[in-house]
Amino acid sequence: MPTSSTNKVEVGASAPDFTLPNSQGKPVKLSDYKGRSAVVLYFYPKDNTPGCTAEACSFRDSYDVFKEAGAEVIGVSSDSSDSHQGFADKHALPFVLLSDQGGSVRKLYGVPTTFGLLPGRVTYVIDKDGIVRHIFNSQFGATKHVEEALRILKG
């Protein structure tokens, strides 16, 4: 589905920097990870929905493998910091969840909507130098995002 945004991050481009609040309301900058670790940045529609819960738990279950591969996992949705905190607590999520309440970062990355309604589910694998190495877009293959990201990080 096309997006109304003219921005679209492509493989090989520098990942656009941004600052968003985490589940404690503290600001997190993407550029803080540059030079330190790769980042698996995943955009998802909504906390506590079946597909998003399956995806988050899949990232949780593979979190040690991501860390061993030198990557940090960051989830982004338009839910509030409070919602993220409850979601993270309920499912013991060890990674960062960021609140993009106005959808500005989603627009910055050109994450499309599905059927013009649902916020898209897209994962970006960003290397240590801040370059986008892989983009995986699948609204309905929630747990495939983890497999794809690991395949790229290990490959």
Q: How far apart are CA 69 and CA 154, in angstroms?
A: 7
Q: Which of 23, 3, 11 is nearest to 82 (CA)?
A: 23
Task: Give pLDDT < 50 ranges for the chain.
Answer: 1-6
Q: Which of 12, 1, 127 is nearest to 71 (CA)?
A: 127
pLDDT at 4: 38
pLDDT at 8: 86
Q: Write down the catalytic residue from 15, 52, 111, 125.
A: 52
Q: Which of 102, 106, 52, 101 is nearest to 80 (CA)?
A: 101
Are 120 and 7 in contact by the 8 Å Cβ rule? The answer is: no
Q: How far is CA 124 from CA 82, 91, 95, in A?
A: 25, 23, 15
Q: Which of 48, 88, 67 is nearest to 149 (CA)?
A: 67
pLDDT at 2: 36
pLDDT at 114: 78
pLDDT at 142: 85
List the domains of the chain with CATH numbers: 35-154 (3.40.30.10)
Active site residue 57: no
HSE-up (13 A, CA, CB side) for residue 35:
2
